[in-house]
Structure 1
């Protein structure tokens, strides 16, 4: 079978029966299971490796161009250099090659034991190269948050059963701190620390170094690999484990999710399918060359799609910021004429509200998108007003999970006859996806227009949690159907509206309160008193399991001018006039300097709640 996905043309992303974006009209229906208006994925070989999709074997590379640029140092890696370095490093990573690191054979899934390489680094120019070298060497890796403490790292290393690790030089003290915690023999977790301290490789900012603190550097391995001969071999992928993600950790310590090659390359193709169909609908050439600002973390599912899974699938120069700095970002947009801004909600809010944007030329930006967490509608409109797209095209917010990187997103208005999915909606199912909305208690499908848990099925859905069958069983009540844990509503047009995390729903006298609904209400106050808000359920002191709804708010300049007491009174009155009684702020309103969030922008409601309860306990009183 000749596979279309290897052709060097945008048509590779369309199935033979892909719907025509002009002629095909999506018809909403009332069936419990509904599908993407974009139709299916193009067929792929059952054993396809992510690297072979990005760099089809026996196909010449396209004309060279800058693939990654460090916005601070101006270092450049071209596409051809990237590929050559990937090939070199993969020769060193192969367990059946010269193998200078002494790496063992890797597991195919969580039923096996074997070599898994941890990637513990902030965003770095050469992180994607290491990831692709792993794909090419059939070496699964685990992406680990660079914000981890020694204890969090120790936990993740055990959950992922990391046997070797690439560590950025700045994070070596954290890694050493994790080693000091021991193997975990004294606790009940069956997965112990098995990382071999002799298999530490350092990612250094100084390419000249061969070693750091007695450990070999990635650059030294690339140099060694350049001297080794290439051994032609067919790469294996498909359902084999490609990498591990750590969960966000917002409900307990992180778990490790298995992502197969099939999951990975389908996630990489999804947004390209929508982009191709959107361009065809608009009557322009699909996948025009682009320049993207790189700030999304590479260890995160969102960053994986952007910086790793789509390399060479379109002509795109990635201008990377080692860390977020608002003014540096604005200077970079102006200097490099950035066309695309993939963002997370906290960054959207900063850009939307900062007067610094008036100092810089943003006219090159074709589009900005948000992902990884809920984006309040008011912010989506605020930033759009500052960009060429204007308020008529508010910043869209995609929806996905680490367990299924991309599930739904707003579409180009009018494509397939679809109505727009405005802010407040997460849009329509993405290519190849099916969905259901299910009562989380009865596990029965609910009628359209009623709230329920979103269940998703499709090639991007992961096989489960690594060596954690209990946790896997909890998210797959029915085979193939991922329980997202998110409360949604499917409207009459088959658009999805995100309401809240089920585990973050606040139960008040048996009634459910969506924290995001109350937060949006606070942000919508007509006097503009609040620029950020966090709502959570706090103990009502009665011991009946019911909760009070409490809000923490970050005040605007107008809010500070009026004062905390006056603002709190106005917000309480505003909520009471807008929402049902069980959603009122019976737990009070507190002004804070900032709302804590994960690097991907997820609000840490539990942290706010726990701090509040600890304070009450310390003060020796309870709210009645």
Structure 2
């Protein structure tokens, strides 16, 4: 690596020139990223040593994490020192005051797995990096979990020890009361958490214990007194951490991420940022000030707050939880340049009158991920930011099973064309893809709909201790079935249509719920603020469905009679879409649409409410 050009490590010998190389679309079944392959890395590289290469001095110090609520700060140098101290405590072969065991290298082994059960916190990334350095596998757990959901995830991840934020201790304590899971026929995995290995993440750094449990800060102080033992860290294909799936189609699963997976997920952003800067003629990897609202336990948050530490100068202003006014105040106060968001937050910022009250002139760019972003809000928020409506909010695409797969590209780089909202864009560095008929498992011709299959070094080895679920997502070795219905256009851009499981079959024809939702949101009078479309029982017992919509009215929609709004929306859909996509199941006006924290719509919940209502009506009519 050229030390005068630290970004040179993100360009390999096969990296294409951003000005001179022109990507050529083709019709072969397997298509590859215009960005080319990944730069080479050592096959056994540990994620912590990727972010903090041994024998290289740290760059000049700067604030790395800031608590938006309290202004508490952690600088890069403090972060590194604290990571080293805590890792000495967590290392199973060191003094090991917690009596931690060795972690499994894959799901064929048992071993120590540390749970991280916390909301966003300025010390969450430090915990993760200490685990990387200590070769301790951890599992990120949603802080929104109920006791039952936590109990389930603790078993799926085979958590043996846990770091719990002090405010979540009551949830953990209730989860432990549910027992080992001995009588649960839905899973063979039992609760293995050792109650003696509970550690508390407290907001008060002075506390040694909370409710009798040791605190993270007490362990950091303990680690400061333990001498460092130089050693070669293991990484590569070994398991690094576990992700909790979103649980949109049943209870969550746990997927494995290796050091190699994580490093390449990090590399994708670094490669793209470096090439974009070279293409636009600016110095790569300039300092950024970032709004920290994406949950750290999520794959998107993992990339933002953990996998990129020390790879470029980032000051991350962390919100403990989403608060639109605190977010806007933080943008103005800290002059934030970058806003990573999810669709519900894009919509809220786009539509809230509060957005007009704050100075957002520092924002260079915003982006969305984790779920589908409707085009209407991509334009609405862009209008309120310096980038303007001509540069709508881009939306990337990835899965917990493969954190980053595709995204829009800067127009012109590698000769690529602009990606419009409603489509995803081009494959990210190191990725290959196919569009496959989900029934026959045969490749479909370019331009036809099918399931997106991908392969690359970011793809998970599979679900932890769940070979059946793993086999379902890998119909062929290396090729991950995404479960998403896609189309590959003439430029080799990917167009998202819908989740395969959420496609609505009407008289043998497929209806993409997102297409109908976008049509409702695109009504010329702007009557709808949010929309959910799903298939509901047609009552005939023939397996076909009615298409039904649930809509949240905009301020304009609320000014009109509901009956009039429903009529106008039906007329608009019937004018724009084919007959089998019409809303034969009706339109219901609701106060809100249920979503996961990352923004994925819970269509199943709306369907269940509707069907439960029908059953209740049927019973009442028989009385």
Q: Is this a same-fold pair by TM over 0.5?
A: yes
Residue 598 of structure 1 corresponds to: 596
SS in structure 2 of the partner of residue 92 of structure 1:
helix
- Aligned equivalents of 1:231 and 1:505: distance in 2? 55
Kindly provide the CA deviation profile for residues 351-382 of structure 1, in whole angstroms up to 9, marking residues without a partner as x.
Answer: 11112121111111010000000000111111
SS in structure 2 of the partner of residue 205 of structure 1:
coil
Does residue 96 (structure 1) correspond to residue 126 (structure 2)? The answer is: no
Farther-moved stretch of structure 1 (182-191 vs 332-341)? 182-191
Residue 345 of structure 2 corresponds to: 347
Q: 1:133 aligns with which of 127, 130, 133?
A: 130
- Aligned equivalents of 1:544 and 1:163: distance in 2? 48
After TM superposition, give the deviation of residue 6 of structure 1 in Å: 9.3
- Aligned equivalents of 1:153 and 1:600: distance in 2? 18
- Aligned equivalents of 1:295 and 1:14: distance in 2? 30
Residue 321 of structure 2 corresponds to: 323
Residue 491 of structure 2 corresponds to: 493
Q: 1:574 aligns with which of 572, 577, 591?
A: 572
Residue 53 of structure 2 corresponds to: 56
Number of residues paired by the alignment? 620
Residue 537 of structure 1 corresponds to: 535
- Aligned equivalents of 2:3 and 2:53: distance in 1? 6
Q: How does 1:327-476 map to 2 (within 5 A)?
A: 327-476=325-474
- Aligned equivalents of 2:541 and 2:181: distance in 1? 36
Q: 1:218 to 1:420 in 2, by over 3 A?
A: same
Q: 2:25 aligns with which of 25, 28, 50?
A: 28
Q: How does 1:305-324 map to 2 (within 5 A)?
A: 305-324=303-322
Q: 1:43 aligns with which of 14, 24, 40?
A: 40
Residue 227 of structure 2 corresponds to: 229
Are 1:541 and 1:622, in contact at CA under 8 Å, matched by a contact in 2?
no
Instruction: Give structure 2 stretches of 5+ with no counterpart.
Output: none
Residue 272 of structure 1 corresponds to: 270
Q: 1:509 aligns with which of 491, 507, 510?
A: 507
After TM superposition, give the deviation of residue 503 of structure 1 in Å: 0.5
Kindly provide the CA deviation profile for residues 248-302 of structure 1, in whole angstroms up to 9, marking residues without a partner as x.
Answer: 0000100000000000011011111111111111111111111001000000000
Q: 1:118 aligns with which of 111, 115, 121?
A: 115
Cα root mean square deviation, aligned: 1.2
- Aligned equivalents of 2:481 and 2:526: distance in 1? 37
Are 1:523 and 1:532, in contact at CA under 8 Å, matched by a contact in 2?
yes
Does residue 295 (structure 1) correspond to residue 293 (structure 2)? The answer is: yes
Does residue 554 (structure 1) correspond to residue 552 (structure 2)? The answer is: yes
After superposing on structure 2, the runs of 4+ consecutive aligned residues of structure 1 that deviate more than 3 Å are 4-8
- Aligned equivalents of 1:621 and 1:484: distance in 2? 40
Kindly provide the CA deviation profile for residues 511-550 of structure 1, in whole angstroms up to 9, marking residues without a partner as x.
Answer: 1110000000000111111010000111111111111111
Kindly provide the CA deviation profile for residues 530-585 of structure 1, in whole angstroms up to 9, marking residues without a partner as x.
Answer: 01000011111111111111100000112111122111111112111111111111
Are 1:6 and 1:12, in contact at CA under 8 Å, matched by a contact in 2?
no
Are 1:5 and 1:13, in contact at CA under 8 Å, matched by a contact in 2?
no
- Aligned equivalents of 1:231 and 1:130: distance in 2? 19
Farther-moved stretch of structure 1 (576-585 vs 297-306)? 576-585
- Aligned equivalents of 1:484 and 1:622: distance in 2? 43
SS in structure 2 of the partner of residue 257 of structure 1:
strand
Are 1:515 and 1:535, in contact at CA under 8 Å, matched by a contact in 2?
yes
- Aligned equivalents of 1:621 and 1:571: distance in 2? 32
- Aligned equivalents of 1:230 and 1:275: distance in 2? 35
Instruction: Give structure 1 stretches of 5+ with no counterpart.
Output: none
Does residue 10 (structure 1) correspond to residue 7 (structure 2)? The answer is: yes
- Aligned equivalents of 1:121 and 1:423: distance in 2? 33
Residue 74 of structure 2 corresponds to: 77
SS in structure 1 of the partner of residue 268 of structure 2:
helix
SS in structure 2 of the partner of residue 553 of structure 1:
strand
SS in structure 2 of the partner of residue 562 of structure 1:
coil
- Aligned equivalents of 1:547 and 1:194: distance in 2? 44
Length-normalised TM-score, structure 2: 0.98
Q: 1:6 to 1:552 in 2, by over 3 A?
A: farther
Residue 172 of structure 2 corresponds to: 175
- Aligned equivalents of 2:369 and 2:527: distance in 1? 26
- Aligned equivalents of 1:593 and 1:5: distance in 2? 56
- Aligned equivalents of 1:609 and 1:579: distance in 2? 22
Residue 192 of structure 1 corresponds to: 190
Residue 152 of structure 1 corresponds to: 149
- Aligned equivalents of 1:398 and 1:588: distance in 2? 32
After TM superposition, give the deviation of residue 150 of structure 1 in Å: 0.4
Are 1:5 and 1:53, in contact at CA under 8 Å, matched by a contact in 2?
no
Q: 1:168 to 1:140 in 2, by over 3 A?
A: same
SS in structure 1 of the partner of residue 533 of structure 2:
strand
